[in-house]
Amino acid sequence: MLSERSISPEKASSRKAVDWGAIVVNVALPFAGVIVALFVGVIMLLLLKADPIAAYTALVQGAVGSTFGLTQSLVKATPLLLVGSGICIAFRANVINIGGEGQIIMGALAGTALPLAFPTVPGYILIPGACLAGFMAGAFWGFIPGILKARLKVNEILSTIMLNAIALQVMNLLLQGPLMDPEGIAHGTFLNQSAQLPHQAYLARLVPQTLLHTGAILALVVAIACYFFLWRTGLGFNIRAVGLNPAASRYSGIDVPFYEALSMTLAGGLAGLAGVIEVIGVQHRLMSGITGGYGFTGIVAALLGSLHPLGLIPASVFFGGLLVGADKMQRAVQVPSSLITAMLGLIVLFVSGSSLWARRWMAHRDASTARRNSMAGASARGEEA
Amino acid sequence: MSGISPDVMIGIFSTMMALATPFLYAALGETFAQRSGVVNLGVDGIMLISAFAAFYVVLLTNNLWLGLLAAALVGLAMGLLMSVVSVSLKAEQGVSGIGLYMLGMGLSSLLFKVLVGTVKTVQGFRGVAIPVLSDIPFIGPVLFRNSVLVYGAFLLVPLSYFVLEKTTLGLKIKAVGQNPAAADSVGISVNGIRYFSVCLGAALAGIAGASLSISLLNLFQDNLTAGQGFIAVALVYFGGWNPWGVLVGALLFSVVNSIQLWMQVLGVKIPSAVAVMLPYVLTIVALTVSVNRVRQPAALNKPFERGES
Amino acid sequence: MKLAKVLTALALASVLAAGAFAAPVKIAVIMPSATTDMAFSQSMWQALLAVQKAAGGESAILIKYTDNMFNVPDAAAAIRDYASQGFDIVIAHGSQYGSSVQEIAKDFPKVTFAWGTDVNTYGLPNVYAYTAAAEEGGYVNGVLAAKLTKSKKIGVTGPIEVGDAKTYIDGFVQGVLSVDKTIVVSKTWTGSFSDVALMTAAAQTHIANGADALTGSSQSVVGSVGAAKDKGNVLWFGTQFDQSSLAPAIVVASQNYDWNGMLKDILAKRKAGTLGGIAYTLTLKNGGLKIAYNPAYKLPAAAKKAADAAAKAIAAGTLKVEP
């Protein structure tokens, strides 16, 4: 699944050289893809009798033009970064995790149930406890497709799609029952939400009058940790080896199914963590819509970050900003939100299509470097090229 | 449960037929695409925009076949877009599929709001009773009183099997999906076949959408499919990339869905959320106990570049 | 004398001019689904448009909307943005927006926030809350359905058993049983607000089981109406929005959420200086809930009489419907 071409074999083991050329190209081309998509968007805006200039001005202004916009971009980047890190790990083992939606839900459920069950426990226990519970719940929801694939060869796309739907119904079941907000029952409104979490379980807000919370820092730490995990630990090395060349890995004794299951479990755990963070950091209770589509947009962010946890950091911020700006654009020129969805789809299409040129550029560059090296080597040995 | 009356049985299986129809079109179409090596996760988006196209054309012209054609053509166009991005530009297919889904979802909602503005019903393909056959007790009402699109979905199963297993085209499709380098070396246009399969799959997904908006439901509503396209993709894996396996999957999923509704109607004491979960749970269970360990097409999700393995 | 007349004329003219060029009242509305959902969001959207029209159009009331805000932080950003742009009234039309309103309203004391469906104004002077006593109209619909059913089997196609879907249906069942305790009311829940195909299948299941009257709620319920229409003699009872346009032959009545009265009241109160602090409930008594009978359906007099009696009793307070 992870194309062998997007990371050359040397990079997998290289620990020294930072390939600046590759970084620049992997950033510039997706960016170009975004621009092209926005051009197509101009046509759609004009057809809807909206002013494209006002629209795109609002887009930029929404993302970076105000304190609130900037912090909101980071607020959205947080779950993208967490889910995306998990996607990166899974992709590296050649496993595609489209179960993010379900894993986020399970994490959010655990992260809600725990503080509600122990409302008097102090925050410094409750918050890490909730995060751990959410991670474990999400990991469990990723473990199921992982083990099914490893032991029974059940395709993970099938199982994760099913598990997404099952998770949604589990949430419905619990929100209609034991988790339903007692206030809603008392007032006769029966709202589709849990009770508000005890205050000590909330994550601190970093900037007043915004939604930016300490979960953003946690997400950053997690992304960096994922980088170290994948490139500086034996487990991570095996995961990458399994993804790059399963046959060779098997031959050299690596238990391929185990690492596929492991990567799926980790991806689930990170998505579950995203779910908890959304609950304790932003919404302070569980309600439907908690996933915010991050199970899917996390995949897009991972692609924008070239499936590398460190690349994911700027990619999530960028994508988060894009989402925030797009909402602002909707408000400014009053186009239906569905136009925004369509434009985001175009962006994803164009960006995913732009990777070809990135790869071609890098292959071309690597080939000419190799040619130059071999010629230099040949002349040093006194031969003709 | 005390003896289930024959009427209830007929009801369960009739609902199953209706529920299975869009899955069959979309999943069989996706089977072609995946057999040639391309995963298209955007099926739900294609179903949505094509469903709207069919609905809108019928709303304006009252011509059902024109509506069906519109759905197929819109699906084809989406398939072309997917092919360009995923086959020619060799994008990461899981991601491009999601982009296609968002595009289809957004466009269908947008056009629905701008062109129609509120929910309206249309007169779609009605049930057509096949003479003689429809009078057979039990089987008659279930199988032979459905609309043309329902019949089409079920006939598509043996037809797809025939194309894949008994024609040169099918051979090429499978070759391209199994070993594109070898196929390329004997002169088969790998990208050409993939374009064809993806577009065919997308056109069929379009007809799946039409089966909803101009036959089974006879209206268009925001997010009409509510994720059925993803279930259809999952059914391709369930069915082992074989049309008959897809049929089994679609019927299993639909009959369990139908049964859980009957359970709710008959007042069986089960929380509704658990009932709704049943089709999904049973699909996973069925797959874990089934013995058929079919390997996926070897080149699935791997864009082809001549000169690479 | 002449100078006084001129001055008076000038004064009058300037007052008139000020009135004519007065800045329009700016209302922003944030909704969790599309404005075309023929249910919750559309009911508020249509009411706003109607109020705008009655006041004289865009020069009197300017409306900006943001739909499909099912993601709460996104909605919070929208609410805050509209408030900071100087909107007079920001309507957060979704029960999931409560905490966001609570946080944001504190930062914009001059803006009126209205949110629903809930009864909590958080003790803030610039927050209105609103809800609908859906169980009331549900009861009346139930009485009607009970009077009209011949098979004594009634089907309820619900989405998820929460919110006003739950309260409406609970009221409906009470209404049915108040007429005839032997009627069997079956309920299905599809677990989704948007799955039309499953809702249609649910309706078909009820019909196959012998139900000749159906009701339900959510945007996906258009599928149930379609199924009833297809069968031909199954009656439909709607809520949240008038659904008779979908199937004029079989829709008997709909409970309409009429936000007009409440919106006008909020506008008037704001003008008079009250920015919030009231929890509105749409009821049959205050006209916020209206039972809209489909003129195309010939309702037998006895049934209408019973329904009217029930509605009157609820409005008078003599009949209590538990949500």
Residues in chain C: 323
pLDDT given for residue B309 in this prediction: 41
pLDDT digits (tens, 9 = 90+) for A77-91: 999 999 999 999 999
Nearest CA in chain B to A151: B288
pLDDT given for residue B142 in this prediction: 87
Q: Could you say which residues from 213 to 232 on chain A have a Cβ atom under 8 Å away from some Cβ of chain B? A: none
Q: Tell me how far apart the alpha carbons of residues B178 and A171 are, in angstroms, rounded to a whole number.
A: 41
pLDDT given for residue A203 in this prediction: 92
To the nearest whole Å, the CA of A169 is away from the closest chain C CA by 7
In DSSP terms, C257 is beta-bridged to: C289
- Strands C153-158 and C213-216, by their bridges, are parallel
CB burial of A76-113 (b: ≥16 within 10 Å; e: otherwise) equals bbbbbbbbbbbbbbbbbbbbbbbbbbbbbbbbbbbbbb
Confidence at B1, pLDDT banded by 50, 70, 90: very low
The pLDDT of A19-45, averaged and rounded, is 83
Cα angle value C215/C218/C222 (rounded, 5°):
65
Q: A17-26, B184-193, B225-234, C158-167: which range is least confident on average?
A: A17-26
Q: C58 near C36, Cβ under 8 Å?
A: no
If one compares C11 and A91, the residue with the highest pLDDT of the two is: A91
Confidence at B299, pLDDT banded by 50, 70, 90: confident
Q: Could you say which residues from 173 to 192 on chain A have a Cβ atom under 8 Å away from some Cβ of chain B? A: 173, 176-177
Contacts of C219 in chain B (CB under 8 A): 221-222
Question: In chain A, what are the domain boundaries?
Answer: 85-315
pLDDT given for residue A8 in this prediction: 41
What is the DSSP-derived secondary structure letter of residue A35?
H
pLDDT given for residue B3 in this prediction: 56
In a domain, B95, yes or no: yes
The pLDDT of C88-107, averaged and rounded, is 93
C167–A327 C-beta distance less than 8 A: no
In a domain, B303, yes or no: no
To the nearest whole Å, the CA of C206 is away from the closest chain B CA by 6
The phi and psi torsions of B189 (rounded to 5 degrees) equal -80, 105
In a domain, B306, yes or no: no
In a domain, B132, yes or no: no
Question: Measured between alpha carbons, how far is residue B26 from residues B93, B136, B200, B222, B235 in Å?
Answer: 18, 30, 10, 19, 10
pLDDT given for residue B140 in this prediction: 86
A191–C163 C-beta distance less than 8 A: yes
pLDDT digits (tens, 9 = 90+) for C159-190: 999 988 999 999 999 999 999 999 999 999 99
Closest CA to B104 of B29, B39, B44: B44
Most distant CA atoms of chain B, gap in Å: 66
Q: Which domain holds residue B256?
A: 6-125+147-288
pLDDT given for residue A354 in this prediction: 85
B interface test, pick of A46, A157, A350 with most B CB neighbours within 10 Å: A157
> What is the percentage of chain B residues whose pLDDT exceeds 90?
77
Axis-axis angle for helices A234-244, A67-92 (nearest 10): 70
Q: A185-194, A260-269, C6-15: which range is least confident on average?
A: C6-15
Please say if the pLDDT value at position A364 is more than 90. Answer: no
Residues of C with CB under 8 A from a CB of B: 33-38, 42, 68, 155, 161, 186-192, 194-198, 200-202, 204-206, 208-209, 219-220, 222-223, 225-226, 229-230, 245-247
B265–C209 C-beta distance less than 8 A: yes
The pLDDT of C225-233, averaged and rounded, is 90
Which residue among A190, A209, A283 places its CB closest to the CB of C99?
A283
In a domain, B297, yes or no: no
- Strands C184-189 and C127-132, by their bridges, are unpaired
B92–A341 C-beta distance less than 8 A: no
Residues of B with CB under 8 A from a CB of C: 7-8, 10-11, 14-15, 18-19, 22, 109, 112-113, 116-121, 212, 216-219, 221-228, 257-258, 261-262, 264-267, 272-273, 276-277
Confidence at A35, pLDDT banded by 50, 70, 90: confident
Name the token pair of B213.
């908006």
pLDDT digits (tens, 9 = 90+) for B66-76: 999 999 999 99
The answer, for C136 touching chain A at a CB cutoff of 8 Å, is no
3-state per-residue secondary structure call for C84-105: HCCCCEEEEECHHHHHHHHHHH
Structural domains in chain C, CATH included, are 8-132 (3.40.50.2300), 134-257+290-316 (3.40.50.2300)
pLDDT given for residue A7 in this prediction: 43
> What is the percentage of chain C residues whose pLDDT exceeds 70?
95
Closest CA to C207 of C153, C144, C146: C153
Please say if the pLDDT value at position A31 is more than 60. Answer: yes
pLDDT given for residue B62 in this prediction: 93
To the nearest whole Å, the CA of A284 is away from the closest chain B CA by 24
Q: Tell me how far apart the alpha carbons of residues A76 and A53 are, in angstroms, rounded to a whole number.
A: 25
Q: Which amino acid is at C197?
A: A
C96–A193 C-beta distance less than 8 A: yes
To the nearest whole Å, the CA of C120 is away from the closest chain B CA by 29
pLDDT given for residue C15 in this prediction: 61
Nearest CA in chain A to B42: A345
Strands (E), chain C: 25-30, 61-66, 89-93, 112-116, 127-132, 153-158, 184-189, 213-216, 235-240, 251-257, 279-282, 289-293
CATH code of the domain in which B211 resides: 1.10.3470
What is the DSSP-derived secondary structure letter of residue B301?
T
Which residue among A289, A331, A341 places its CB closest to the CB of C66?
A331
Number of folded domains that form chain B: 1
The answer, for A170 touching chain B at a CB cutoff of 8 Å, is yes
In a domain, B50, yes or no: yes
Please say if the pLDDT value at position B132 is more than 90. Answer: no
pLDDT digits (tens, 9 = 90+) for B185-212: 999 999 999 999 999 999 999 999 999 9
Which residue among A3, A155, A354 places its CB closest to the CB of B296?
A155
In a domain, B57, yes or no: yes
B96–A5 C-beta distance less than 8 A: no
A158–B41 C-beta distance less than 8 A: no
Nearest CA in chain B to A3: B302
In a domain, B300, yes or no: no
Q: Could you say which residues from 150 to 169 on chain A have a Cβ atom under 8 Å away from some Cβ of chain B? A: 152-155, 157-159, 161-166, 169
Contacts of A176 in chain B (CB under 8 A): 271, 273
A190–C162 C-beta distance less than 8 A: yes
Q: Tell me how far apart the alpha carbons of residues A376 and A383 are, in angstroms, rounded to a whole number.
A: 10
To the nearest whole Å, the CA of A314 is away from the closest chain C CA by 20
